[in-house]
């Protein structure tokens, strides 16, 4: 999906435009809320892209901000309509973590830490199917099939020559040792991981158990950055949903954490040797 057709990113762009207009008018979010008889939280959420902005919201804000350029009003209204559209994954039914899928589809780069499993973008079909079937209680055959299709389609990003995703992954040794599916599936998965780690746009660094306690013990996280904005987003995936953090202080904290984890992890070439040794264990 093209970047200018992504609902989440379009909503963020619209929110930035509305924030700029408010600041140019010299108004605070509290003042805007009082004038339009809405909550200050709604104003904040519209400006950060965390809440859908309707064409009527755009009209009311433009009137309040004294916007007389009809071309600008039409542009903002078009963004509002675009941001309400659903991404391609919605055609597969009720797929969790849709906010993350919105962001991942247009991210220019992702810095991630995974402690338990190989990241979805780097999974083989057999490994992905095993993860879905073995970690989601009461999942139906149809639900598992839909989630697998979505997961594999997401991987188009790492093969898209026009918009190739830059990916940095720190992967805990536990993800290499835990048998998912079967030993044969693990061998195939680690061979695939090793091959992808040689690609210039993909960096995989293994964090060995010998590193001891580290900042990643609290769990998985991803830092997503975009080519059309200097803003980054941290995504924390949980069992049935996830949390997006966009505050500068949060992004900085997780960026420092990722850098610390990379410093503790093996270098890329050493990591490939480590993965090769793990492959031999599953092949024996």
**Given 52, 83, 114, which residue is the final one in a domain?**
83
So what's the pLDDT on residue 101? 80
Long-range contact list for 139-143, CB < 8 A, 24+ apart? 143/93
Q: Tell whether 30 and 151 lie within a shared domain.
A: no
More confident residue, 246 or 6: 246
Summary mean pLDDT of the chain: 87
- Which range has highest mean pLDDT (27-36, 183-192, 237-246)? 183-192
**Given 65, 83, 101, which residue is the final one in a domain?**
83
pLDDT digits (tens, 9 = 90+) for 21-30: 999 999 999 9
So what's the pLDDT on residue 89? 47
Report the C-alpha gap between 50 and 44 in whole angstroms. Answer: 8
Q: Tell whether 188 and 110 lie within a shared domain.
A: yes
Report the C-alpha gap between 275 and 281 in whole angstroms. Answer: 10
pLDDT digits (tens, 9 = 90+) for 145-167: 988 998 998 899 898 888 889 99
So what's the pLDDT on residue 107? 87
Q: Tell whether 164 and 204 lie within a shared domain.
A: yes
Q: How would residue 3 be classed by pLDDT, with cut points 50, 70 and 90?
A: very low
Q: Which of 14-28, 51-65, 96-110, 245-259 has the lowest mean pLDDT?
A: 96-110
Phi and psi at residue 48, to the nearest 5°: -100, 0
pLDDT digits (tens, 9 = 90+) for 65-86: 999 999 999 989 888 887 766 5
Return the CATH number at 231: 3.30.870
So what's the pLDDT on residue 105? 82
So what's the pLDDT on residue 100? 78
pLDDT digits (tens, 9 = 90+) for 222-280: 999 988 666 788 988 876 667 878 888 999 999 999 999 999 999 999 999 999 999 99
Q: How would residue 177 be classed by pLDDT, with cut points 50, 70 and 90?
A: very high
Domain hosting residue 10, numbered range: 3-83
**Given 37, 61, 83, which residue is the final one in a domain?**
83
The 3 state secondary structure assigned to the chain is CCHHHCHHHHHHHHHHHHHHHHHHHCCCHHHHHHHHCCCHHHHHHHHHCCCCCCHHHHHHHHHHCCCCCHHHHHHHHHHHHHHCCCCHHHHHCCCCCHHHHHHHHHCCEEEEEECCCCCHHHCCHHHHHHHHHHHCCCCCHHHHHHHHHHHHHHHHHHCCCCCCCEEEEEEEHHHHHCCCCCHHHHHHHHHHHHHHCCCCCEEEEEECHHHCCCHHHHCCEEEEEECCEEEEEEEEECCCCEEEECCHHHHHHHHHHHHHHHHHCCCHHHHHHHHHHHHHHHHC
């Amino acid at each position: 999906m093209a970047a200018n057709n992504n609902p989440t990113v379009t909503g963020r762009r619209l929110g930035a435009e509305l924030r700029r207009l408010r600041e140019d008018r010299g108004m605070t979010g509290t003042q805007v809320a009082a004038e339009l008889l809405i909550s200050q939280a709604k104003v904040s959420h519209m400006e950060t892209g965390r809440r859908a902005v309707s064409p009527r919201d755009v009209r009311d804000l433009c009137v309040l901000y004294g916007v007389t350029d009809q071309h600008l009003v039409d542009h903002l209204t078009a963004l509002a309509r675009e941001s309400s559209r659903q991404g391609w994954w919605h055609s597969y039914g009720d797929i969790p973590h849709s906010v993350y899928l919105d962001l991942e589809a247009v991210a220019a780069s992702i810095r991630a830490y995974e402690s338990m499993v190989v990241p979805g973008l780097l999974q083989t079909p057999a490994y992905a199917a095993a993860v879905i079937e073995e970690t989601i209680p009461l999942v139906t055959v149809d639900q598992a099939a839909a989630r697998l299709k979505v997961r594999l389609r997401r991987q188009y990003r790492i093969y898209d020559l026009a918009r190739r995703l830059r990916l940095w992954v720190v992967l805990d040794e536990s993800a290499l040792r835990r048998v998912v599916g079967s030993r044969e599936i693990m061998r195939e998965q680690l061979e695939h991981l090793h091959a992808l780690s040689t690609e210039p746009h993909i960096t995989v660094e293994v964090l060995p158990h010998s590193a001891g306690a580290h900042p990643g013990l609290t769990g998985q996280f991803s830092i997503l950055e975009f080519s059309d904005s200097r803003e980054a987003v941290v995504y924390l995936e949980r069992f049935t949903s996830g949390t997006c953090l966009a505050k500068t202080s949060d992004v900085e904290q997780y960026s420092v954490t990722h850098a610390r984890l990379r410093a503790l992890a093996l270098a890329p070439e050493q990591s490939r040797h480590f993965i090769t040794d793990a492959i031999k264990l599953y092949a024996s």
